[in-house]
Amino acid sequence: MPTKKSLAVRLNSQVAERMRRYCAERGIKQGFFIEKALLEQIEREELNEDLLDFKKHRSHEKDAISFEEYLRLRRSHV
């Protein structure tokens, strides 16, 4: 079982109350809800970073070799 760690944050009181009500009405534990929300946001941010990297390097695509060619070249240098 993964270990748990406490994290103290300060929230706008209206946001905290809205979250408390939302979780209470749906029978969701607040800690679970916050953990899920944080993970989803991290994944969105990482995806955005990946998309920006793809966009940044798109102009170099014409110079790229296939994965198969890369593996062949790599094997020949071993």
Flag whether 6 is in a domain: no
Residue 27: which pLDDT band, with cuts at 50, 70 and 90?
very high
- Span 49-73, pLDDT tens digits: 988 887 887 787 788 888 888 888 8
Q: Domain for residue 7, yes or no?
A: no
Tokens at 74, concatenated: 């790599």
Q: Is residue 39 part of a domain?
A: yes
**Cα(48)–Cα(9) distance, rounded to whole angstroms?**
25
d(CA 30, CA 49): 29
* Number of domains, the chain: 1
Q: DSSP code of 53?
A: H
What pLDDT is attached to residue 63? 81
Residues with Cβ within 8 Å of 1's Cβ and at least 6 positions away in sequence, in order, are: none
Q: Give percent helix, percent strand, percent coil of the chain, each to the nearest 5.
A: 75, 0, 25
Does 49 map to a domain? yes
The pTM (predicted TM-score) of the whole model is: 0.65
Q: Containing domain of residue 62, as a range?
A: 13-76
Per the domain annotation, does 36 fall within a domain?
A: yes
**Each residue of 2-24: pLDDT tens digit?**
899 999 999 999 999 999 999 99
